[in-house]
């Protein structure tokens, strides 16, 4: 009996993916990866300059969006459905980590609220918008970006960021269970520290904080955005058809470590 070869470059052929925060970092790397696997990509981002370039790079569509605004989020997913006929993958990835978000002793309420709005409220809005299309078509994969700090305590705290990512985990878990029998999977992606402009900016201003974090990574380096993109592509694909409501750790072993190699 002949075995049909598997073409992994077309694992996502015919799928339509919406990526928020898609103009840079993990989002842009994911746009490249999903396109390479056959998906059509819609990039949602606040910055039209970088967003347009990122969309053109993958032959996709750019939609300017403030992910904290319900009408704009709804318009993003409506645009994807109108342009390509479905919403099959939602990578809800937009997030911020501003310097004003620090220890609970120094983080004031406006900074707290801004991070909650961008990191948690946006995932609620994007998941809600995506589900309107996925429920109707009886299929879909939602991947929400959380963080390894949602499962570990950090003495170098970003209090609102940590709390927001914990909220993403809990919400994604509940959605994954709630919509499982409607053909929709919802998972949380939990990156370890990733070598993106956001992290580079943080560490450039605080070498001690950078050193304190690096020592806890068993692999001994930060992740590459492309490594996270590969995880998203897996969770988006039918290869992950029995995976839902999970906390998908891509952290270089941080969450399993007590001490790390010298």
Q: Which of 84, 133, 161, 258 is catalytic?
A: 161
Strands 61-64 and 247-250, by their bridges, are unpaired
Tell me, yes or no, if 161 is annotated catalytic.
yes
Region of residue 89 (left: phi > 0; alpha: psi -120 to 50; beta: else): beta
- What is the number of residues in the chain? 262
| Chain centroid, CA 96 distance in Å | 12
Q: Which strand ranges, in their side-by-side order, compose the sheet holding 16-20? A: 61-64, 40-45, 16-20, 89-92, 140-145, 184-191, 247-250
Cα gap 105→202, rounded to integer Å: 19
C-alpha closest to that of 139 among 21, 9, 5, 14: 14
Cα gap 97→236, rounded to integer Å: 26
Active centre residues (catalytic): 161
């Amino acid at each position: 009996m002949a075995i049909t070869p598997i073409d992994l470059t077309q694992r996502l052929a015919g799928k339509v993916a919406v990526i928020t925060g898609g103009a840079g970092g993990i989002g842009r790397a994911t746009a490249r990866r999903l396109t390479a696997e056959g998906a059509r990509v819609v990039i949602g981002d606040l910055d039209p300059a970088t967003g347009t370039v990122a969309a053109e790079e993958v032959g996709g569509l750019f939609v300017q969006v403030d992910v904290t605004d319900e009408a704009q989020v709804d318009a993003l997913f409506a645009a994807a459905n109108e342009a390509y006929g479905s919403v099959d993958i939602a990578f809800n990835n937009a997030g911020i980590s501003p310097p004003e978000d620090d220890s609970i002793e120094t983080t004031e309420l406006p900074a707290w609220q801004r991070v909650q709005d961008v990191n948690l409220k946006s995932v609620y809005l994007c998941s809600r918008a995506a589900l309107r299309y996925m429920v109707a078509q009886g299929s879909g994969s939602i991947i929400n970006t959380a963080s390894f700090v949602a499962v570990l305590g950090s003495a170098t705290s970003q209090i609102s960021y940590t709390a927001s990512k914990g909220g993403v985990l809990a919400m994604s878990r509940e959605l994954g269970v709630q919509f499982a029998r409607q053909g929709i999977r919802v998972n949380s992606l939990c990156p370890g520290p990733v070598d993106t402009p956001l992290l580079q900016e943080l560490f450039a201003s605080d070498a001690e904080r950078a050193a304190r974090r690096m020592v806890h990574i068993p692999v001994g380096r930060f992740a590459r955005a492309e490594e996270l993109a590969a995880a998203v592509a897996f969770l988006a694909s039918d290869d992950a058809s029995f995976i839902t409501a999970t906390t998908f750790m891509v952290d270089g072993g941080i969450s399993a470590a007590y001490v790390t190699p010298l």
